[in-house]
Structure 1
Amino acid sequence: MIETVLGPVPREALGRVNTNEHVLGDSRVLAKPNREGRWIEGEIRPEILGDLRWSYQALPDNLLLDDVGTAISELALAAESGVGTIVEATSWGMGPRHADLPAVSRAAGLHIVSAYGVYIDRTLDDAWRQKREPEFEALFRAALHDRVPGTEFRAGLLGLMGTSAEITPAEDRALRTACHVAAEAGAAVSVRLEGHAMLGLEVAELMMSEGLPADKILFCNIDKVLDDAYVRDIVDTGAVVEFAFGSEHYFADRFRDATDLARLEFLLDLVHERPRAAITATASVWTKGQLARYGGMGYGHVPRRIAPALARMGLESTRIDDILVHRPAALLDRPEGTR
C-alpha cells in the first residue's frame, strides 16, 4: 500500500507519478543577487521573466509558493495532462505546509504522497541544525508510523534529505537516521545531491551502510550533472535516479540547467547502456516561474510533453511505463507489516 495525504491506496491506483515536487513552501532563504550583483524587485510578472531566467534566484517572490488556490489550479492542470500522483517533497528548511495538502489533493483530483525530511544545512535554523540522532529518530519514526506533525496522515517516504558539497554534521546525522528508520519501515528516502560535488557514490554507500536497500534510495534531479560515468556508477549500485524536466534556467555565469533535449538524449543513452537502470521522472517544481500561469512548463510537463517525446525518439512504451508508473510505485510501496 502507498501512504497518501488522504490515506493509504493500492499501488495500482497511483497512475503516472512525479517523484519530486513542491506544492506549498518558502525557499526564499536561497535567494541571492543576480549576476550583476542586484536584486529583482517586486512580484513575478511578464516583463521581468527574461531577467529571471538569466538569474533565477534573484527574485525572492519567485521562491515562494504560498497560495492554496494556485496550487489547486496548477495540479488540476497536471491531472488533466495525465499525472495521477505527485510526491510532495518540501522538507524542513523549505517552509513545508503539510497540513494544507489534503485539501489541495481533494480539490485538484490527484494523489499526493507526502515526504518528510530535512533540507541542506544552510536553509536550517539553529534548532534544526543542533538536533541529535534521538530527536531525528523520534520525528522520522512518528512521520512514517503515526502521522506527520500537525496532520492526520502518515508520510509515504522520508525526504527530501539535503546534502551539501561537504556534508555537514547536521546533514550526516539527519541522513543516517532517516535511512535506518526508513529501512525498518520498508520506506524509501529521497536525497538532494550537490551537483558539482559528484558525491552520489559516497552518499549511496552511506545510506546503504545504515541498512537501507539500494532500490529504496531516490537520487533526485540527477540531471544536474549529465556525466556518463558518474550516473552509470550510481545506477550500478541499484539506486533509483530521477530526471527533472522542464527547467532551463541560469544561476551563475558558468552554472545553468541542462536543456530538456540534453536530458532526453542522456536518458535514452543511459537506458541503452544500462537496460535495467532504475529511473523516475518529475518536473521538480519549486518556484513560481515553473508554474503554467507564469509561462513555466507546470507539473504536467512529463506526461504531456516528455513521455510523447521519448516515444517519438524510440523508447518502448513498456519502458516509459516503468519510468512513470511501475518504478515509482515500487519505490513508494511499503509492506503491510511495517506500516
Structure 2
Amino acid sequence: MIQTVLGRIESAQLGRTSTNEHLLADSRHLRRPLRDGRWWDGEVTPQNLGDLRWNWLASADNLHLDSADVTVEELALARADGLRTVVEATSIGMGPDPAGLPDISRRSGVHVVAAFGSYIDKTLPESWKQHSDDEMRAIFSRALAESIPGTDVRAGLLGLMGTSAEITLAEERALRAAASAATDAGCAVSIRLDAAARRGPEVAALLTSEGLDPRRILFCNIDKVMDAAYVHDIVDTGAVVEFAFGSENSFGDGARDATDDQRIAFLLALCETRPEARITMSSSVWTKGQLSRHGGMGYGHVVRRVVPVLERAGVPAGRLERMLVTEPADLLDLG
C-alpha cells in the first residue's frame, strides 16, 4: 500500500509517477542579485523570461509557488499527458504547505504522496536545529504514523533531506533521525546531494548504518553531477537515482543546468552500462518559471516529451515501465 494525501492506495493504482516535485513552496530566501550585482524584483512574465533564465534565482516571485488554483491547472495538464502521481518533496526550509495538498489532489485528479523532511542547513530555522536527536526522530515518526505537524496529512516517505557540500552537524543529525524513523516505518528517504561534492556513497552508508534498506534510498536530481564513475558508485549501493528534466537555466556566472539532451545521453549510457540500475524520473518543478503557463516545461514534461525521445532511442517499453511505474511503486510501497 502507498500513503497518499487522500489515504492509502494499492500500488497498482499509482501509474506513471514523478518522484520529486513541488506544488506549494517558498524558496524566496534563496534569491540572489543579478550578475551585475543589482537586485531585481520583477514578476515572472513572457517579457522577462530571458533575463530570468540568465539568472534563475534573481526574482523572488519565481521562487514562490503560492497558488493552489494554478497548481491544480498545471497538474491537470500533466494528467492529460499521462502522469498519474507526484511525490511532493517540499521540506522544512523550502516553505512547505502540506495542508493544501489534499484539495490539490482532489481537484486535479492526480495522486499526491507527501514527503516530510528538512532541507540544507542554510535554509533551516533555528527551532529545527535545536531539536534533540530523539525529538527529530519522533517528529519524523509521527509524520509517517499520524500526521505532518500542523496538518491532518500523513507523509508517505521522508525527504527531501538536504546535504551541503560539507555535510553539517544539523544535516547529519537529521539524516540519521530520518533513516531510523524510516527503517521502523518501512518507508523511503529522498536525498538532495550537493553538486559541488561527491558524497552519494557516503550518505548511503550513513543511512544504512541506521538500518535503512538501500533500496529505500532515493537520490534526487542525480543529473546535477553527470560523472559516470560517481553515479555508478551510487547505483552500486542499491539506491535509486532520479533524473530531473526540463530546467536548462543559469544561476549566475559559471553555474548552469545541463541540457535535456545531455541528461538523456547520460541516462541512456547508464542504462547500457548498468542495466539493473534503479532509476526514476521527474521534472523537479520548484519555481514559477518551470510552469507551463510561464513558458516552462511543466509537471508533465517527462511523459509528454522525454519518454517519446527515449522510445525513439530504443529504450524497451519494459525498461520505461520500470522507471516510470515499477521503481516508484517499489520505493513508495509501505507493505
Give TM class, smaller chain: over 0.9
Alignment of 1:133-144 (within 5 A): 133-144=133-144
Gaps of at least 5 residues in structure 1 are: none
Shift of 1:153: 2.8
**Partner residue in 1 for 2:269:** 269
Q: Which residues of 2 match residues 11-30 of structure 1 at below 5 A?
A: 11-30=11-30
Secondary structure at the residue paired with 2:80? Answer: helix
Residue type of the partner of 1:121?
D
By how many angstroms is 1:135 displaced?
1.3
Which stretch of structure 1 is more off in the superposition, 108-117 or 145-154? 145-154
Q: How does 1:42-61 map to 2 (within 5 A)?
A: 42-61=42-61
Asked if the contact 1:131–1:170 (Cα under 8 Å) also holds between the matched residues in 2, the reply is: no
- Contact preservation (8 Å) 2:99, 2:153: no
Shift of 1:154: 1.4
Give runs of aligned pairs for residues 121-136 of structure 1, distance below 5 A.
Answer: 121-136=121-136
**Given that residues 218 and 239 in structure 1 are in contact (C-alpha distance below 8 angstroms), is that contact kept between their aligned partners in structure 2?**
yes
Does the CA contact (< 8 Å) of 2:98 and 2:153 recur in 1? no
Q: Which residue of 2 aligns with 1:65?
A: 65
Deviations 1:93-132 (Å, cap 9, x if unpaired)? 0010000000000000110000000011101121112222
1:291 maps to a residue whose letter is L
Partner of 1:320: 320
In the TM superposition, residue 138 of structure 1 has moved relative to its aligned partner by 1.3
Deviation at 1:12, TM superposition (A): 0.4
| 2:232 is the alignment partner of 1:236 | no
For residues 39 and 291 of structure 1, the distance between their equivalents in structure 2, rounded to whole angstroms, comes to 23
d(CA) in 2 for partners of 1:73 and 1:118? 28
CA contact 1:53–1:249 (8 Å) conserved in 2: yes
Deviations 1:220-264, CA, capped at 9 Å, x for gaps: 000001001000110011000000000000012211101000000
* Structure 2 CA distance for aligned equivalents of residues 161 and 138 of structure 1: 16
Quote the offset at 1:14 in angstroms: 0.6
Question: Per-residue deviation at 1:180?
Answer: 0.9
Aligned residue in 2 for 1:304? 304
2:108 is aligned to 108
* Cross-structure match for 2:259: 259
- Give 1:167 shift: 0.8
Instruction: Give the % identical residues.
Output: 59
- 2:155 aligns with 155
Q: Please give the alpha-carbon distance, in whole angstroms, between the structure 2 residues aligned to 1:34 and 1:244.
A: 25
The residue type paired with residue 191 of structure 2 is V
- Aligned 8 A contact 2:249 2:257 in 1: yes
Which stretch shifts more, 262-271 or 143-152?
143-152
CA contact (8 A) 2:115 2:158 kept: yes
Shift, 1:207, TM fit: 0.9
Give distance in 2, aligned partners of 1:31 and 1:139. Answer: 29
> Hey, what does 2:198 align to over in structure 1?
198
Q: Does the 8 Å CA contact 1:159/1:191 hold for their aligned counterparts?
A: yes
Q: SS in structure 2 opposite 1:325? A: helix
Give deviations 1:124-154, integer Å, cap 9, x for gaps.
Answer: 1211122221111111010111111232231
Q: How many residues align?
A: 335
How far 1:298 moved relative to its partner? 0.1
- Aligned counterparts of 1:324 and 1:116: Cα–Cα separation in 2: 22
Alignment check: 8 A CA contact 1:221 1:244 kept: yes
Counterpart for residue 86 of structure 1: 86
Residue 201 of structure 1 deviates from its aligned partner by 1.1
| Letter in structure 2 aligned against 1:77 | L
Question: 1:302 deviation in Å?
Answer: 0.5
* Cα shift at 1:42: 2.6
> For residue 7 of structure 1, what is the amino acid of its counterpart?
G
Q: CA deviation at 1:290?
A: 0.2
Determine the C-alpha separation between the residues in 2 that align with 1:142 and 1:200: 27
For 1:287, the equivalent position in structure 2 comes to 287
Matching residue of 2:208: 208
Q: Which secondary structure state, in structure 2, belongs to the residue aligned with residue 112 of structure 1?
A: strand
TM-score (norm 1): 0.98
- d(CA) in 2 for partners of 1:300, 1:133: 38
Q: What SS does the corresponding residue of 1:197 show, helix, strand or coil?
A: coil
- Please identify runs of 4+ aligned residues in structure 1 that moved more than 6 A: none
Do the aligned residues in 2 keep the contact of 1:22 with 1:88 (CA within 8 Å)? yes
1:189-244 Cα distance to aligned partner (Å, 9 max, x none): 00000012111111111111111111100000000010010001100110000000
Task: Tell me the residue number matched to 2:221.
Answer: 221
SS at match of 1:151: coil
Gaps of 5+ in 2: none
